Structure 1
Amino acid sequence: MHGILLVDKPRGWTSHDVVAWVRSRLGLRSVGHGGTLDPAAEGLLLILVGVATRLAQYAIDADKSYIAHIVLGVSTTTDDLEGEPRESQPVVSPPSRAAIAEVLERFRGTIQQVPPAYSAIKVAGTAAYRRIRRGDRVALEPRTVTVHRLELLHYDYPDLVVAIDCGKGFYVRALARDLGDALGTGGYLHGLVRTRIGRFHLNQAWTSTDLERTLGPETWPLLAQHPDALVQELPPLVLPNAQLTAWYHGAPVRCSVTASEGSLARAYAADGDWIGLARYDALRKHWRPELVHRARG
């Protein structure tokens, strides 16, 4: 059993909760996800089954879209709803909509962002949030992240709603914190919905109610997308039947298609079955198996 299940994760569930539930429904161990969504967040979560788990990095690296509800006027220890409020000065005059728009401009494009201290980023081999919980002081280094779109959808102080399209590694909690700091009000992330991961959209996802009624081994082909949907941006490569035995044994194969050194392609047999990923060796003029999937048998 292989494929991608698009799930509309409800608030309160961890990503691992969803994985464990799908494992129990399918009776499989080979189940993972394509990028964590915090328990307080909701929206699109990609559940990966079988060979799709080996393609998880493509989902993790994909651009993502969110709708974020930020509350100004207070900061929290975790930069979201789960943390304790920090001491703050009262806001005498709430920022205007024009001031909000001006500050938002600073967070568009390629920027430096300090991740939230309460995060899973490893510090000397231990997650930052674990270090904080045991009393350590944690200072994370800024990271380069990209924001393709940051649009103000609603503002009625203290509530602010924005739409975000961003690259990998972007923390919406950190945006809420930094936006509040820039406005001089403080701020935290009150609610978050993930609406897109790469080419996958929330309106394609199954709700937990849908899956409670229908998910099982016999319905899997009707509910899941094919694993190669994760790598549709790669060019296709059709291998001659004469090369398939070598391919399935992990040996390099030759065909009439060439590419630049190191290029990746999604490989197919002549009958249309997806059989994995191939990387081109320009010096030797052959394709090396990067991932081998035996579609049948």
Structure 2
Amino acid sequence: MARRRKGLPIDGVLLLDKPQGMSSNHALQRVRRLYQARKAGHTGTLDPMATGLLPVCLGEATKFSAHLLEADKVYRTRVKLGEITDTGDAEGEVIARQALPERLDHDAIEALLARFRGEIEQVPPMYSALKHQGRKLYELAREGKTVARAPRRVTVYDIRPLGWEPDGFWLEVRCSKGTYIRTLAEDIGREAGFGAHITALERLQTGPFDSARRVTLEALEGMDDDARLAQLLPADAMLDHLPPLAVAAETADRLLHGQRAAVAAGTLAPGTTARLYLDHAFLGLVEATGATEIAPKRLVDTAALASG
């Protein structure tokens, strides 16, 4: 019997430029196969229609992917007025139409957009991966079913038009985690009195990562192994919002064995999560459990790193 390949101990973060028409999971699996990585995970699903920044974590970096799931995002989207679809985007069926004026009132729309800045409530769409009684909502929606969804509070830090077209406009949105851009467009269209759906969606930024270093699948496939590895960012690149803490070898050893360790008073405020380093090597995350004590929170597998 052939032995199953376990994959390579590849660690890091790839800033993938997800193509249109591909699911986030399919893109993830393509990246994993290219790197032959043991473990892989993405940091926030993009709809198949959407394009743009999809950070993919490989190996030990997957342990810290939740920090990008929680991060703020920036999107660019095209809002088409006058039509409502069952999915909120161009992939759905048009279920209602409303005639538009010969010329959109740009000032009125900008004033309307201002009402969506700040903390708002959204009802998650039926075509989403949220679950109801163990089933994903989009599975129920495809069966023609609709269930009640509790509204969620999200924050739109900024929303501004980028350009105007006869039947809609382009928007840039900076928002908190959990914000549905499709739902935002639908709500704007309803308030405008025309209805709306999105016809394009691109993620430009996730947490500390912008689009400057994103790479396409086609480009990755054309690289040799060394060039492909050079595309990976270290795991701690997604944790820049946390303070760093350098410790001595004895302290690091205690923490890596699951024990608490003493630090000087004032090093970290109690409750603070920090990045742990030994001789500039990232070891994971620790938490200050008191004024002079830290405890391991999420550490890398140093044996796995050494074998790589």
Unaligned runs of 5+ in 1: none
Once residues 153 and 272 of structure 1 are traced to their aligned partners in structure 2, the CA distance between those partners, rounded to angstroms, is 42
Shift of 1:153: 1.2
Please tell me whether the aligned partners of residues 126 and 146 of structure 2 are also in contact (alpha carbons under 8 angstroms).
Answer: no
Shift of 1:255: 2.4
Please tell me whether the aligned partners of residues 31 and 217 of structure 2 are also in contact (alpha carbons under 8 angstroms).
Answer: no
Q: 1:74 aligns with which of 74, 80, 83?
A: 83
Once residues 261 and 61 of structure 1 are traced to their aligned partners in structure 2, the CA distance between those partners, rounded to angstroms, is 22
Partner SS, residue 59 of structure 1: helix
Once residues 292 and 88 of structure 1 are traced to their aligned partners in structure 2, the CA distance between those partners, rounded to angstroms, is 54
Shift of 1:57: 1.1
After superposition, residues 84-163 of structure 1 pair within 5 angstroms as: 84-91=93-100, 95-163=104-172
What is the RMSD computed on CA atoms of the aligned residues? 1.6
Once residues 247 and 89 of structure 1 are traced to their aligned partners in structure 2, the CA distance between those partners, rounded to angstroms, is 62
Shift of 1:147: 0.8
Once residues 32 and 246 of structure 2 are traced to their aligned partners in structure 1, the CA distance between those partners, rounded to angstroms, is 33
What do the CA deviations read for 1:52-106 (whole angstroms, capped 9, x no partner)?
Answer: 1111111111111111101111000000011100133434565411121121111
- Report runs of 4+ in structure 1 exceeding 6 Å deviation: none
Once residues 200 and 98 of structure 2 are traced to their aligned partners in structure 1, the CA distance between those partners, rounded to angstroms, is 23
> What residue is the counterpart of 1:242 in the other structure?
250
> What residue is the counterpart of 2:215 in the other structure?
206
Q: Structure 1 residues 200-209 or 229-238, which shifts more?
A: 200-209
What do the CA deviations read for 1:229-283 (whole angstroms, capped 9, x no partner)?
Answer: 11111111111112232222111122226322221000001x1111110011117
> What residue is the counterpart of 1:287 in the other structure?
294
Q: What is the number of residues matched between the two proteins?
A: 294
Structure 1-normalised TM-score?
A: 0.94
> What residue is the counterpart of 1:83 in the other structure?
92
Q: Which amino acid is 1:244 matched to?
A: A
Q: 1:251 aligns with which of 259, 267, 271?
A: 259
Unaligned runs of 5+ in 2: 1-9
Cα 1:75–1:119 shift into 2, 3 Å: same
Please tell me whether the aligned partners of residues 109 and 192 of structure 2 are also in contact (alpha carbons under 8 angstroms).
Answer: yes
Shift of 1:143: 0.9
**Between the two proteins, what is the percent identity of the paired residues?**
34
Structure 2-normalised TM-score?
A: 0.91
Q: Structure 1 residues 186-195 or 241-250, which shifts more?
A: 241-250
